[in-house]
A and B are shown apart, each in its own frame.
Chain A
Amino acid sequence: MRNAFCAALIDHARRARYFFLTGDLGFMALEPLARELGPRFVNAGVAEQNMVSVAAGIVRAGAPCWCYSIAPFCYARPFEQIRNDVCLNRLGVHLVGNGGGYAYGSMGATHHALEDYGVLVTLPGLRAYVPAFDADVAPCVRVMSERAAPAYLRLGRSELTDERELPPYAAWRRLLEGAAGMLIVVGPLAGSLLRATRERPYASRPTIWVVSEIESGGLELPQALYDDLARAGALGLVEEHVAAGGFGALLLHRLALEGRTLPPLMHAHARGYPSGRYGSQRWHREECGLATPQILESLARVRAQARP
């Protein structure tokens, strides 16, 4: 998605004048953007606190500003700068974190972002964008720019090789209809789940929704989602993020406050490092039940238990 992001911002630069700050990251990826923006592409160095505050100042002075690092460096160290300088001042800084979840795999725990959007959407006015596919990145850039409010874009790696038949980008999208339960997925995992199930017969595949925009106070759920929930024999929530503060918690809170009756439920989410050992993104997903077969088995199990 990083290349899609770079291409989207180059395209965006032809319509809008903005600044781009990087925390010394983007080698072999962002060079074309640097050439496009000239002096408005700023390597702010290995200093994320300063980078976020400077970005707030740039927006305060009247220009849009994007602020890029790998996901964990983008939100954790400069959290107070995001809270105070960006959000309390209602400045539309666009934070971009590359490699959400376990994406940096065996680079180790410091390079993972397992609680990023959950932490950030507690802040006033901040909305997190989690594209699932390469094709989502440009629309996310467009929506973030138009909204001009504090935002966090979590980039990953698309898990779908052929994106031609996807429905157009929306905060909520139904990717697949089926009768074997319902999955609501955050981010690129949706691609793997779609690949694994779309050739199955209708009766044995789940309905799959993907959500790409998360905001603590403003989840706007489409009516079609409610309709699908009412029909679903089981519900699975899937996210490469810890359970506390994550999308699942936000959605269930919202549905509970609305008094909705929920189908039997499973929640597949990041669980940190249960064994204390490290590996690829795939390895970590398997360790916490986030691999595609595990998710589908878990959903099937919940469905089976719910049957009389």
Chain B
Amino acid sequence: MSHWAPLARLARRRLLRMHFESRIGHLGGNLSALDALLVLHHRLMRPGDDFILSKGHAAGALYVTLWSLGLLSEEDLASFHGEGTRLAGHPVPGWSERIGIATGSLGHGFPVALGMALKRHLEHERGHLYCLTSDGEWQEGAMWEALIFWAHRRLPNLTVLIDVNGLQGFGSTREVASMEDLGPRLKAFGLAVVDVDGHDHEAIAAAAAAHPGALILLHTVKGKGVSFMENRMEWHYLPLSEAQYAAALGELEEPAATLHATGASA
């Protein structure tokens, strides 16, 4: 792994703590998406770029990413899922430039990002759009409506990443919807489709930089980084017990030096 590995470990530890303290599950899909979020927000996005989290259930990973950039405080993260919080279980709008719209119901973020990209493209404006979807989300009809529109319009200022962890809420994407061949299906629409290891920061950054206007399939592991969560469907929902939390932290060595802007440690 690259020099980003300590940041990835730090962010994972903080994510686990946030979810443990608030007794909230949804960890599996957060851990599979976290590396892509870190790469996007630390390395790829430039001023004027925008990000839409279409898989809104990875809100925790997004909040921790924003914390790692110094855009959210420890106090903010402590409010996750609490009373009067802005850090709801799925992103709510109106308080952060990095959270452009409310998401959570699947199949919404991608077409909204498409609209933003369309406006900028037709008005010759700068600013790239990045959108992260889940793989199960591609069972929503609205995603395919959006794909048809994108393929027709050929907007080069949008990159859609898909967190292909292969598991959804009540089964695998193969068992539920025969989605093991998602890549070829997408490719059939005439768009560029790129496959990368969704936990390899260098590969993600290189693919996104080299293929603007593409679909990037992030081949990921649900629960990545915690052995007893990896590829286990139940971690789509379950919260951590105290013993599980301690065991998970034991697998994620605390980085010797923090790399993020806040200087805080998890």
Contacts and interface: CB of A to CB of B under 8 A. Distances in A.
Contacts of A65: 115
A59 B117 CA distance: 11
Interface string B101-123: 11111011001111111111011
A198 interface: no
Interface in A55-72: 55-63, 65
Interface residues of A, number: 28
B93 interface: yes
A289 B107 CA distance: 42
A98 B90 CA distance: 35
A71 B125 CA distance: 33
B228 interface: no
A45 B146 CA distance: 10
B122 A44 contact: no
A90 interface: yes
Interface of A: 19, 39-40, 42, 44-45, 47, 49-50, 53-63, 65, 80-81, 84-85, 88-90
A230 B141 CA distance: 53
A60 B116 CA distance: 7
Given A54-B111, A85-B108, 10 more contacts: A40-B122, A50-B145, A50-B149, A53-B112, A53-B115, A56-B115, A57-B118, A58-B116, A89-B93, A90-B94
Given A80-B105, A85-B108, A89-B101, A57 B114 contact: yes
B118 A58 contact: yes
| Top-8 shortest CB links A-B | A57-B115, A53-B111, A50-B145, A54-B115, A47-B145, A61-B119, A57-B116, A57-B112
A44 B145 CA distance: 10
Nearest to A17: B123
7 contacts: A40-B122, A47-B145, A49-B107, A50-B148, A54-B149, A56-B115, A85-B108
Contacts of B118: 42, 54, 57-58
A55 B100 CA distance: 14
B45 interface: no
A256 B105 CA distance: 37
Contact of A63 (B105, B113, B123): B123
Interface of B: 92-94, 100-105, 107-108, 111-120, 122-123, 125, 141-142, 145-146, 148-149, 152
B120 A50 contact: no
A89 B113 CA distance: 13
A53 B116 contact: no
A28 to B, nearest CB: 24
A81 B119 CA distance: 18
A296 to B, nearest CB: 46
A53 B119 contact: no
A58 B111 contact: no
Contacts of A55: 115
Contacts of A59: 115
Given A50-B111, A50-B142, A54-B118, A60 B101 contact: yes
A24 B53 CA distance: 29
Contacts of B122: 19, 39-40
Given A56-B115, A57-B114, A84 B105 contact: yes
Contacts of A62: 119
Contacts of A84: 102-105, 108
A61 B120 contact: yes
A88 B108 CA distance: 12
A61 B142 CA distance: 20
A58 B115 contact: yes
A58 B93 contact: no
A60 B105 CA distance: 18
Contacts of A81: 108, 111, 142
A59 B118 CA distance: 11
B111 A57 contact: yes
Contacts of B113: 57
